[in-house]
Amino acid sequence: MVQYKKMIQYKLIDHTADFGIQVTAENKKTLFVNAALAMFDLIADTDKNRETQTLFLDISGDDWPDLMVNWLREMLYLWNGEEKLITAVTIENLTGYEIKACVLWYPFDPDKDKIKNEIKAVTYHQIAVTQRSHDWNSRIIFDI
């Protein structure tokens, strides 16, 4: 089980009219956690001290890049479709190309929460999920 609430490290990629991020982690589970938290860091200043609720997710894909896109699209739907801000992610199981996860979220409050960027979509453009000798790396482009 991998759970992170700390500030996540990611690098913005220079990309015309879109946002791109480069995420690195010591293993696959942490890579998927970091990618989700990085996306929400771009979206809003989340309050880690707010009372949260729990949501369980089961996401699958055809390969690692497809799983990353599907994973982040589901996370983005929680924001765009349901106005849920994610503060923590726990990957309970990552088997094959399927993630079983638990996310902590709280409802968006326009009086308390500051929105930083609007992300419209997670794209397949230049998507990459790769294992290197000492870590895992992913490149993700968001439509803004």
Could you tell me the CATH number of the domain that includes residue 56? Answer: 3.55.10.10
Question: Which residues on adjacent β-strands are paired with residue 86?
Answer: 105
> Number of structural domains, the chain?
1
How confident is residue 4, by pLDDT bands cut at 50, 70 and 90? very low
| 36 falls within a domain | yes
* Euclidean distance between the first and the last CA atom of the chain, given in angstroms as a whole number: 32
| 103 falls within a domain | yes
CB 94 within 8 A of CB 29: yes
Has residue 18 got a pLDDT over 90? no
Q: pTM, whole model, 2 decimals?
A: 0.89
Q: How far apart are CA 106 and CA 5, in angstroms?
A: 14
Amino acid at 128: A
| 49 falls within a domain | yes
| 6 falls within a domain | no
Q: Which domain holds residue 45?
A: 18-143
Has residue 43 got a pLDDT over 70? yes
Q: How far apart are CA 18 and CA 126, in angstroms?
A: 12
* CA 64 to the chain's CA centroid: 14
Amino acid at 64: W
| 7 falls within a domain | no
Residue pLDDT, tens place only, 84-130: 999 999 999 999 999 999 999 999 999 999 999 999 999 999 999 99
